[in-house]
Every structure is written in structure tokens, then in C-alpha cells.
Structure 1
Amino acid sequence: MAGFPGLERKFRRGRPRGVRVCVSVLEKEEKIAREVLKPPREWRPQPWSLQCMCGNTMSVPLLTDAATVSGAERETAAVIFLHGLGDTGHSWADALSSIRLPHVKYICPHAPRIPVTLNMKMVMPSWFDLMGLSPDAPEDEAGIKKAAENIKALIEHEMKNGIPANRIVLGGFSQGGALSLYTALTCPHPLAGIVALSCWLPLHRAFPQAANGSAKDLTILQCHGELDPMVPVRFGALTAEKLRSVVTPARVQFKTYPGVMHSSCPQEMAAVKEFLEKLLPPV
């Protein structure tokens, strides 16, 4: 599904000051979201659990300052999670720290700052350009493919450091979830699965032909708020239908949450944790 605008934020951190989206209703939604999307107190991580990547990461730019949540034990699996438009990896590192598994490393890179057509060319964190609200709107094909290659480089970095592809889950929220779907489906390495929250499949007309042969074995958790005004839940349902034409249909879970807008909720995070526990057990 093509682009959706700027209320792609998670928990405490929002979009840059001064950014005004092109659809006025978003201003009201954001005001509500400032209160609604605050995580419960118990979701706040311990300060020592969040780190920034350092060391030999110059060949993988997204790792240079990515936010991470380290495992308490030897790390044998990894979750790479991509934030939404206008956000940073820090807010999702905060959220994932509340459901962390002791043997799993969580990596939350930051999108580059680029002009976004849908937001009047304002410069903000964005994985690729967004051009319209309609599923039939033009898409930034070159930008999507470039962003996917950067995420694949991050995956390969983890593989070189001892975590096999089948122990890596790729996930994201909204625009980040969209990129995680496209990247995992076209990745030459057989990943463990995908966590796709409040999102759509970019360049959906190219599938199933564009998918890598190993994509049929991917396990996918797709979650969506039933009151989402930015990426309507029916777009999520259409995405799930398309995904079942690409991967083994029984491997796609599509969960919806009553009363939830373009955000996450404790029930959704519990579902993510359960999914990861089954997909990435201790070894």
C-alpha cells in the first residue's frame, strides 16, 4: 500500500518541531495521541538496558548510532525493528525492552532525514519518500529498494557476527513495518520471520513474483488497530491477503485490536512477545 502521513510516532518521542502534515485531521489525532500513546509506567526500561551501537560498524551506516537492547545472556538471536515516519529507533527500543528475551538482541536503527513529498517536502526521518494517501498513489520505488538494501546489509552484519539468518526476525511499525515486509520478502537469506505492525506492503503489485524463493517459509505476525485513521485496517486485511499469496498461508497471523488507532497497545506487545518466544527459542 502506498504512503500514509505523519502520525507515525511511538510512545514518548514525536516528530520534529514545526512539521505540519498536509491533512489537517492529523493535527487533532496527534494531540490525542500524545496522551493515548504514552506507555504504562511498567513499560519503561531499566537505564542499563539501552545502548548505542559502537565498534566496527562503519561499513553498515545504519548501525553507527542504532539504539539496541542487549540480551542478559549469550545472544543467539536478533530482532531488527524499524520505526515509523518522523520517529527514531529510541522509542521502539524503549518499548521492546519491556518484552525482551534474555538471549535476543534488539536493534532499532534510525531512518535518514529526507524531504517527504506527502508532508510538503518537510525534512524528517523517513525510510523512503511517501507520495500519497491512496493505495493507488505513486510509490518511491527506487527509495524503497535502496532502503531495503541498507536493511539487508544490517542483516548480513549480524550474520557475520555469528547469528544465522534463521535466528533473525525483521519487524517494524507503519512505514518501518512496510519496509520490513518488503525487505524480508525479497531478502536472499531465509529469515525466521516478520513482525508487521500497522502497516502495508510497498510495491505490492510486484508480488508474488518479486519474492525470493525462501520467502514462502517466512512466519509473519501482522497486527493492526481497528480504528487506525492513517493506515485503515482494511488496508491491513488486504495486505494479509496478499501475503498469503506469497508465503505459506498458515504462516500469516493477522490480529486486530478494537479501539486502537495508529499506535500499539499492551495486548499487541504481549502478542509480539509470544510470537518471538515461539520463533526464537533458547538454543
Structure 2
Amino acid sequence: MGGSSSKNMSAPYTVAAQARHSATLIFLHGLGDTGQGWSEAFKQLKLNHIKCVCPTAPVMPVTLNGGFRMPSWFDIRSLHPDGPEDKEGIKAACEILKGLIDNEEKNGISADKVFVGGFSQGGAVALYTALMSEKKLGGVVGLSTWLPLHKEFTQGQKLQANEDIPIFQAHGTQDPLVPPAWGEMTAKLVQTMTKNHSFKTYPMMHTSCPEELEDVKNFLNTLVKE
């Protein structure tokens, strides 16, 4: 099971920059969601120079939910950090994200001005893609997420292009779905590979909150000033 494909995806929800468009954030939603809700959230942030692209994942059966079909970037087979993973699906989802990055480059935004991010499952795809990327990217926003296929990485591993990539990672301290320990373990590993990683927690469950979104806005605005 797995194997995401862009062929059966709808057009992404897009939020235009408030002023001159000089950077792009591609943000992937979590399991069973769509890009619409996150596009509304980013619309409220009123980012001056950053366009936000919020795609919706292909619909596929999800093992953890008894094979029920829903928007999903890859199959979820276990909630254990050492459980089986949908390697094929994860890598296929990364190709979808790479295609969206390529689209931005075709439209005049260089890869180093493209930020990738996501919530939960979407954040997992964004984080894995950035750490494996051969292109230098602008940064990563990972909310309530984890690093999939973490055994492919080692402590202090040298990244292909993103050794200095800015990463903002955040997690709810009461998250019952993606345990805070997953976020902490991910942060500790990623911090050995990149010099510019921050990890912040909030008193919430598997969701987002205004304080977190304001921190995301500040993270992005610090990196994109015009």
C-alpha cells in the first residue's frame, strides 16, 4: 500500500503574499485533512512577501484506520517509533513535494527561497524531503510531527545541501496521537545534522494554537524581510 501520486490530486489552495512575492511556503496538511483549513490559517497571518501553497493529499486506504480511504500523503501502518513504515509511499510523497518546489522555480522563486512545512504526517514529509534534498531550501516548519524513516539518518550526518537550513519544530505537550517524545527524539537527531534548529512546545493536544502560528510567522518573517 502507499505510493502517492500527483495525478489524482486537486489544485492546491494558494494564499497570495500581501506585498511583493519573493518567497514561498509549501505546507502539507495532516492525515485525513485538506489544504483548505491551513490556507485559511495562513491567510490570517498576512505574510508580506511569502506566498503559501497548501496542497491536498491523494485519497488512499490507510492501514491504521482499517483501510478506510482518506487524504493521506502515505500509509500509516503503526504508531510505534520502531514500527513498520510505508517507505515507498513516503518517498513518493517526497516526489510530490519536490514537484511543487520545481513549480515555484519555474515561476521565478529559487529553491533557496522556498520553505517546506507541514502538520503531523505532512510535516514528516516536509522534514524528510528537506534533509534528503540535493537543493538548498529556505527553511522548514514542522508542527506536531516526526522524522520518518529515521533509521536512514545517523547522528551528525552531513546533509547534501541543507546543513545550515533553518528549522522551526513545534509540538503539543499533551499530544495523544504523535507523542511529544517523538518530537523530542526527532529534534535531538535533527539538531546533530543542522546548526539552525529550534524546538518549542505548547500546552495543547494534536492541534495548533494562535501562539504557535504567531511563532511560525515570526520565524518566516525573520528569514524573508522583502
Quick check: TM above 0.5? yes
Aligned partner letter, 1:280: V
Check the 8 A contact 1:62/1:150 in 2, yes or no.
Answer: no
Q: Is 2:22–2:109's contact at 8 Å kept on the other side of the alignment?
A: yes
**Partners of 1:111 and 1:211 in 2: how far apart?**
30
Q: Give the secondary structure class of the aligned counterpart of 1:102.
A: coil
One of 192, 199, 202 as aligned partner of 1:245: 192
Note if contact 1:222-1:240 (Cα within 8 Å) is conserved in structure 2.
yes
**C-alpha separation in 1, matches of 2:213 and 2:99:** 27
Q: 1:264 to 1:193 in 2, by over 3 A?
A: same
* Equivalent-residue separation in structure 2 for 1:224 and 1:73 (angstroms): 30
Write the mapping of 1:137-216 to structure 2, written as runs, cut at 5 A: 137-208=83-154, 212-216=159-163
State the distance in 2 between where 1:205 and 1:174 align: 19
Please report how far the alpha carbon of residue 118 of structure 1 lies from its aligned counterpart in structure 2 after TM superposition.
0.5
Contact 1:62 1:110 in 2 (8 A): no
Seen in structure 2, the aligned counterparts of structure 1 residues 78 and 278 have a Cα distance that, compared at 3 Å, is same
State the Cα RMSD in Å: 1.6
Question: For residue 222 of structure 1, what is the amino acid of its counterpart?
Answer: Q
Query: Residues of 1 paired with 2:38 and 2:125: CA distance?
Result: 15
Report the alpha carbon displacement of residue 72 of structure 1 after superposing the two structures with TM: 2.7
Read off the aligned partner of 1:92 and give its amino acid letter.
W
In structure 2, runs of 5+ residues without a counterpart are 1-5
Counterpart of 1:257? 202
Counterpart Cα distance in 1 of 2:112 and 2:199? 22
**Any conservation in 2 of the 1:63–1:154 contact (CA below 8 Å)?**
no
Task: Decide whether the 8 Å contact of 1:226 with 1:233 is kept in 2.
Answer: yes
In the TM superposition, what whole-angstrom CA distance separates every residue of 1:3-36 from its partner, at most 9, and x where no partner exists? xxxxxxxxxxxxxxxxxxxxxxxxxxxxxxxxxx
The structural deviation recorded for 1:235 is: 1.0
The gaps in structure 1 that reach 5 residues or longer are 1-59
Cα distance in 2 for partners of 1:278, 1:167 equals 13
Residue 12 of structure 1 aligns with which residue?
A: none
Question: Given the two structures, how large is their TM-score scaled by the length of structure 2?
Answer: 0.93
Structure 2 distance, partners of 1:240, 1:141, is 21
Please report how far the alpha carbon of residue 127 of structure 1 lies from its aligned counterpart in structure 2 after TM superposition.
0.1
Q: Distance in 1 between matches of 2:164 and 2:150?
A: 19
Distance 1:172 1:269, change over 3 A: same
Aligned to 1:223: 170
Alignment of 1:273 onto 2:221: no
Give the deviation of 1:215 after TM superposition. 2.0
Call closer, same or farther: CA 1:213–1:256 in 2, change over 3 Å: same
After superposing on structure 2, the runs of 4+ consecutive aligned residues of structure 1 that deviate more than 3 Å are 60-64, 208-212
**What is the distance in 2 between the residues matched to 1:208 and 1:169?**
24
| Cα distance per residue 1:121-167 (max 9 Å; x no partner) | 00000000000111111000011001101110110110111001111
Please give the TM-score of this superposition, normalised by the length of structure 1: 0.75
Aligned pairs for 1:1-283 (under 5 A) are 61=7, 65-208=11-154, 212-248=159-195, 251-258=196-203, 260-282=204-226
Q: How far 1:101 sits from its partner (Å)?
A: 1.4
Q: CA deviation at 1:62?
A: 8.1
SS of the equivalent of 1:216 reads coil
- In the TM superposition, residue 100 of structure 1 has moved relative to its aligned partner by 2.6
